[in-house]
Amino acid sequence: MTRDTQGRESDPRVTTHRAAAAIPIHGLHHFAYRCRDAEETRNFYEDILGLPLWHIIQSDFVPSTGEHCPYTHIFFRMSDGSCVAFFDLGDDEAAQPSPNTPAWVNHLALRVDTVEHLERIKAELEKHGVEVIGVTDHHIFKSIYFFDPNGIRLELTAQIASEMRMLEESRHAHARLAEWSARKAQWRAERAAGRGPEVLKPQVNDRPEVATRAAAATRAAATAG
């Protein structure tokens, strides 16, 4: 590992696909969502999850677009200096879920150090009445899932795969994506011609045990019915 001029670690063995032309992007500064109520959101992120309220911005006009939209913008700091942020627009409205996207797709994943930490946070969340899924095994990391008061799906994750394993698997990522993209182009052509399946399935199932569990649950439900 090496460090840049600001002391941040980077791995010289890991390069982007177009590294020669790339300006380094070091990590997350903040990710912002809409919230229904700033204090309700503060209670969840600061009092339950332990992320301190770090900064607040209030204005009647949006700096980037100039449009009139009064807001209170709050930031919660993580231990690496990055933040999760929210906009309270003063109307007591939460962001609406996407009508064409399953609820599990859009989510924010945050890292913790160990699986033990996941289990401790899960217990704390459940003590406050928050429904938690997991600990879920993704092979390279383990996770828990839950929703914040604004309907935002959060994931807390603990890495279990080694740095070398991740580096090795990264070497195949572009080839696998290219194969998927070629199959998707063919699928689009077939759909345009009125043929082909409604949904294109991946060429590889990296998590066969999940399909096995789902099939077993389906059989159990049919038997119980």
Domain segments of the chain as ranges: 26-93, 96-161, 172-203
> Which of 22-31, 76-85, 139-148 bottoms out in mean pLDDT, i.e. has the lowest?
22-31
Q: Nearest CA to 73 among 36, 23, 38?
A: 38
**With bands split at pLDDT 50, 70 and 90, how would you rate the model's confidence at 134?**
very high
Order of strands, edge to edge, in the sheet holding 30-35?
30-35, 83-88, 68-77, 53-61
Q: Which two tokens stand for residue 131?
A: 């429904």
Q: Which two tokens stand for residue 100?
A: 């064409």
Residue with tokens 């990264």: 170
Please give the residue that has the higher pLDDT: either 208 or 182.
182
**With bands split at pLDDT 50, 70 and 90, how would you rate the model's confidence at 3?**
low
Residue 79 has pLDDT above 90, yes or no: yes
The residues near 86 (Cβ < 8 Å, ≥ 6 apart) are 32, 33, 34, 35, 38, 41, 73, 74, 150
The model's pLDDT over 13-58, given as tens digits with 9 standing for 90+, comes to 555 555 545 788 888 999 999 999 999 999 999 999 999 999 999 9
User: Which CATH superfamily, name and number, covers 96-161?
Assistant: 2,3-Dihydroxybiphenyl 1,2-Dioxygenase, domain 1 (3.10.180.10)
Rounded to an integer, what distance in angstroms lies between the CA atom of residue 46 and that of residue 49?
6
> Which of 13-17, 164-168, 203-207, 220-224 bottoms out in mean pLDDT, i.e. has the lowest?
13-17
Query: Beta strands 83-88 and 107-112: pairing type?
Result: unpaired
Rounded to an integer, what distance in angstroms lies between the CA atom of residue 209 and that of residue 161?
18
Please give the residue that has the higher pLDDT: either 29 or 203.
29
The residues near 174 (Cβ < 8 Å, ≥ 6 apart) are 17
Pick the CATH number of 26-93 from 3.10.310.10, 3.50.50.60, 3.40.605.10, 3.10.180.10: 3.10.180.10
Whether 26-93 shares its CATH topology with 96-161 is answered yes
Q: How many CA atoms lie within 13 A of 183 on its CB side?
A: 13
Residue 5 has pLDDT above 60, yes or no: no
**With bands split at pLDDT 50, 70 and 90, how would you rate the model's confidence at 204?**
confident
Predicted pLDDT of residue 25: 82
Rounded to an integer, what distance in angstroms lies between the CA atom of residue 205 and that of residue 212?
12
Please give the residue that has the higher pLDDT: either 214 or 58.
58
Query: Beta strands 107-112 and 153-159: pairing type?
Result: parallel
Q: Which two tokens stand for residue 9?
A: 């670690």
